[in-house]
Amino acid sequence: MKINNILFLTCIGFFVILIHSCNSTKETSNSMAVLTSEKVEDDEVSKKVKELLSKMTLEEKIGQMNQYTGFFDPTGPSPKDGNNKEKYEHIESGQVGSMLNVRGAKEVRAMQEIAVEKSRLGIPLIFAFDVIHGFKTISPIPLAEAASWDLEAIEKSARIAAIEASAAGLNWTFAPMVDLYRDARWGRVMEGAGEDTYLGSKVAVARVEGFQGDDLSANNTIAACAKHFAAYGFAEAGKDYNTTDIGLSTLYNVVLPPFKACSDAGVATFMNSFNELNGIPATGDAFLQRDLLKKEWGFEGFVVSDWGSIGEMIAHGHAADGKHASELAANAGSDMDMESHLYVKHLKELVESNKVSMKHIDDAAGRILKIKFDLGLFDDPYRYCDEAREKELILNKEHADAALDMAKKSIVLLKNEKNLLPLAKNGKKIALIGPLAEDKTSPLGNWRLAGDDNTAISVVEGMKKYNDSFTYSKGVKFVEEKTMFHLHVPYNKDDKTGIKEAVNLAKTSDVVIMVLGEHGMQSGEGRSRAQIDIPGVQQELLEAVYEVNKNIVLVLMNGRPLALPWAAENIPAILEVWHLGSQSGNAIAEVLYGDYNPSGKLPMTFPRNVGQVPIYYNYKNTGRPGPKPEVFWQHYSDMTNDPLYPFGFGLSYTTFKYSNLSVTKNGGNNVSVSVNVKNTGKVAGEEVVQLYIRDQVASVTRPVKELKGFEKIRLASGASKTVQFTLTDKELGFYNNQRKYIVEPGKFDVMVGGNSVDLLKDEFEL
Ligand code: NOJ
């Protein structure tokens, strides 16, 4: 096919490959983005950065590139003792640029005072923390929030997290995680926005804008961090930290766009990643960090390594020792060393022996100082340390209300036979069963570091607000083990002692609500699973209860898609509630009793069986698509190709009818699409109207469908609305294997509907 309308949105090609394979001691040509790029050079902050750099010694510049984790409590033992001694002295001597895991207005102030009052130049520290889904008021896990497809609510959730975190002295969060992934075994799927690049990019930007607001120097906004750059979510076999090996097409069309969107939205920082990508650990990858991010995309903030990832290049087999690792990372554009303690040890000598150039050091330190200026830390290093503000803002009522709203919007109704839901508010004998129903910690999910145990509203508590005549039985227990640093939750495969009591209760009830799934610590970092079923003896509990009472509402709490073919086949009503945060039980009860009509849609495909993973909606057709009544096509011989629940799927207590799909070419590559959506049920409801396209024939094959637009609408019973979309170059093109963004002429399918499978279809030709 003839290629026309080639858009040079990327311009690196073979030049980049050349640079990539260069000796690491050589500078790549983009090295001075902060200090030499014309745009930046002229502005006020750049001048201040330059001036400050001119006063700094090499050690002080390297100090800015060093980040330590917290080490003392201002009310506790002296920081000058034991293991803390070196870190303390390093802050005093200007050899630390940032701290992580120190929080609290008082605690942050105490540490900031050391930097500001004792170090030679008094350069303030930046205080970082993993504010992933709320600070003290915990909102739903990010995967759940993405299920709302409500960008305004997601932005607000990040805004509130920033308000609380900044009130506790913090000014930098390691979020959003914008990794794309397709493998539900990976524990960190809970931390992102799901499998789709388009939705993922929109959610990423909403989160960045929520954290950073309009003015980074305001005392209630914090710097965001797009992580993990790049391709961490494509860990082989879903095993955290594993190798990633993906081609250019997937890298450019699937993985990179959410990062690019964050860079375009002005995200202050990036974090690189633990994984190697095509043989090069991301932390040491100059192509990713210098050439693509800083030069081509024009990113003006700084890149922090992931925890210890500079040192991990030794285990990767890429660096010989700590010194070599520092050389590789600094030359590749990793500006700040998180907890490897290697830059502070080796960079000086590396500069003195010309292995790392002074230009690279100035660039890195300059970028870090720029963000400190942007945050207003030089005007007032204690601007985030106001204990009165901390008291007033953290866990306030407005934040709880917003967390409740977000939690309700995140719930996805997967099945509702015979309208078992919503429950009548009175007159039914209800049994509530399952270990997660009274759990006040699991609903907080993983990555809620500042969130206190036992603070979520449980399902038991939420339901009691409606009616306390139900009876509760735990059924089975989770087993929790405290290891040195973390809570470990091995599967309870043995203890079935509570099943009998639960079965007896179910026998005498009209409806059984079963709250099952994953403990809050069964997903998250380092928590990949080879099986993605309902863990442990909970499946046995479910089947035993089903034997005596079939009117079951299964409330699933989990941090990843689960494979539950038996439940999907047999259980009449299934509600996916993920880990919903502080207001979990209230949100679930409102949905169970019909005061909120669920509107969430899956941001990630649910497989029938772990053997189908990786499974995703935007797959390629291959040369042998099916189904065919024979052997030689792409399929399994023991399992269908279809997912259990597809991407974009979610029911409501009402129904929606789609009609009148119309496609109009407006000239150029501009196409209007409209569709009519009618609420055909008895109650008001919200629907996420989704638009997909397929480029039928392309020089690089395109997926069978790709999300390119969505709108969440609210319709009263009987009401209808015409929803409009516009397709332009931005939606119609793709990156070819020369890394060029192109739009090719030819036929495109347009598909619109309420999920990625049930779609009206038309086509147009460019
Ligand atoms: C390691 C994780 O990969 C990263 O996402 C996190 O921000 C850091 N640890 C700091 O806690």
User: Is the CB of 174 inside a 6 Å radius of any atom of ligand 1?
Assistant: yes
Kindly report the average pLDDT of the chain as a whole number: 94
78 pLDDT more than 50: yes
Alpha-carbon distance 421 to 427, whole Å? Answer: 15
pLDDT digits (tens, 9 = 90+) for 372-393: 999 999 999 999 999 999 999 9
pLDDT attached to residue 259: 98
Best residue for ligand 1 mutational test, from 130, 227, 241, 448 (most atoms within 8 Å of Cβ): 130
Task: Tell me, using a 6 A CB cutoff, whether residue 227 lines ligand 1.
Answer: yes
Is 727 buried (19+), middle (13-18) or exposed (0-12) by CB count in 10 A? buried
**Nearest Cα residue to 615 out of 640, 578, 651, 637:** 640
Residue 613 zone, left/alpha/beta (φ > 0; ψ -120 to 50; rest): beta
Q: How far apart are CA 439 and CA 200, in angstroms?
A: 30
pLDDT tens column, 190-214 = 999 999 999 999 999 999 999 999 9
Question: DSSP secondary structure string, 235-254?
Answer: -GGG-TT--B---HHHIIII
> Which of 67, 178, 189, 306 should be mutated for ligand 1, with most atoms under 8 A from CB?
306
Strands 172-173 and 337-338: unpaired
Contacts of 26 (CB under 8 A, 6+ apart): none
Q: How confident is the model at residue 14, as a pLDDT?
A: 31
Nearest of 330, 343, 324, 341 to residue 303 by alpha carbon: 330
- Give 189 Cα–ligand 1 centroid separation in angstroms: 14
pLDDT of residue 46: 96
Q: Whose CA is nearest to atom 1 of ligand 1?
A: 307
C-alpha span between 406 and 400 (Å, rounded): 10
Report whether pLDDT(13) > 80. no
* Peptide bond between residue 228 and the one before it cis (omega within 30 degrees of 0): yes
The band of 38, judged by pLDDT with boundaries at 50, 70 and 90, is: very low
d(CA 210, CA 207): 5
Residue 363 Cβ inside 6 Å of ligand 1? The answer reads no
Nearest to 251 by CA among 306, 183, 197, 305: 197
DSSP 8-state assignment for residue 147: T
Q: Which phi and psi (to 5°) does residue 267 adopt?
A: -60, 140
What contacts 754, CB < 8 A, 6 or more positions away?
601, 648, 656, 658, 687, 688, 689, 690
CA angle 369, 372, 377 (to 5 degrees): 135
Cβ neighbours, 10 Å, residue 92: 16
Closest atom of ligand 1 relative to the 227 alpha carbon = 5
Q: Which strand (E) or helix (H) includes residue 173?
A: strand 172-173
C-alpha to C-alpha distance for 302 and 172, rounded to whole angstroms: 12
The verdict on the CB of residue 191 being under 6 Å from ligand 1 is no
Q: What is the pLDDT of residues 449-468, one digit of tens each?
A: 999 999 999 999 999 999 98
The yes or no reply on domain 656-765 and CATH 2.60.40.10 is yes
Compute the average pLDDT of residues 299-320: 98
Domains 410-612 and 656-765 agree in fold:
no
| Gap between the Cα atoms of 209 and 189, Å rounded | 22
Bridge partners of 645, per DSSP, are 606
**Per-residue pLDDT tens over the stretch 460-504:** 999 999 998 899 999 999 988 888 778 888 888 889 999 999 999
Nearest-CA residue for ligand 1 atom 4 is 306
- According to the model, what pLDDT value does residue 687 have? 98
pLDDT tier at 34 (50, 70, 90 boundaries)?
very low
- Ligand 1 atom having least distance to the Cα of 191: 5
Choose the weakest-confidence range: 24-33, 312-321, 478-487, 597-606. Answer: 24-33
Q: Are 517 and 478 in contact (CB under 8 A)?
A: no
- Selection from 684, 695, 628 nearest residue 653 by Cα: 684
CA distances from 435 to 289, 674, 685 (A): 45, 46, 31
Contact 652, 413 (CB under 8 A): yes
pLDDT score of 702 more than 80: yes
Instruction: Report the alpha-carbon distance of residue 124 to residue 186 in Å, rounded.
Output: 37
The pLDDT of residue 28 is above 60: no
Residue 477's nearest CA partner among 527, 525, 509, 437 is 437
254-296 pLDDT, tens digit per residue, is 999 999 999 999 999 999 999 999 999 999 999 999 999 999 9
- Is 379 among the catalytic positions? no
Exactly one of 306, 374, 405, 439 is catalytic; which is it?
306
Q: What's the mean pLDDT in 631-639?
A: 96
pLDDT for residue 679 is more than 90: yes
Q: In what order do the strands lie in the sheet with 656-665?
A: 656-665, 671-679, 720-727
User: Ligand 1 mean position to 307 CA, how many Å?
Assistant: 6
| Per-residue pLDDT reduced to its tens digit, 85-123 | 999 999 999 999 999 999 999 999 999 999 999 999 999
Instruction: Specify the pLDDT at position 72.
Output: 85
**Confidence class for position 177, pLDDT limits 50, 70, 90:** very high
Distance 306 CA to ligand 1 centre (A): 6
Residue 524 C-alpha to ligand 1 middle, in angstroms? Answer: 11
pLDDT band at 42 (very low <50, low <70, confident <90, very high): low
369: CA distance to ligand 1 center in Å?
22
Tens of pLDDT along 640-665? 999 999 999 999 999 999 999 999 99
Band of the pLDDT at 724, cuts 50, 70, 90? Answer: very high
pLDDT tier at 3, thresholds 50, 70, 90: very low
Output DSSP code: residue 197.
H
Instruction: Give the C-alpha separation, 249 to 734, whole Å.
Output: 9
| Domain locations in the chain as residue ranges | 410-612, 656-765
Q: Is the CB of 307 under 6 A from ligand 1?
A: yes
pLDDT at 152 over 70: yes
Q: Taking residues 593-609, what's their average pLDDT? A: 98
- Three-state SS for 572? coil
Residue 284, classed as helix, strand or coil, is helix
User: Which of 92, 7, 656, 141 has its CA nearest to residue 444?
Assistant: 141
pLDDT, residue 454, reads: 97
Residue percentage of the chain with pLDDT more than 90: 90
- Tokens 């509402």 identify what position? 553
With a cut of 70, say whether residue 58 has pLDDT above it: yes
- The rounded distance, in Å, linking the Cα atoms of 374 and 364 is 16
Q: Is 130 in the pocket of ligand 1 (CB under 6 A)?
A: yes
Give the mean model confidence (pLDDT) for residues 536-553. Answer: 98
d(CA 161, CA 406): 13
Q: Is residue 314 scored above 60 in pLDDT?
A: yes
Which candidate, 709, 706, 662, 655, places its Cα nearest to that of 685? Answer: 655
DSSP assigned state of 290: I
Percent of the chain with pLDDT strictly greater than 70: 95
Domain 410-612: top CATH class: alpha beta
Asked whether residue 517 carries a pLDDT value surpassing 80, the answer given is: yes
Would you tell me how many other CB atoms lie within 10 Å of the CB of residue 428?
A: 14
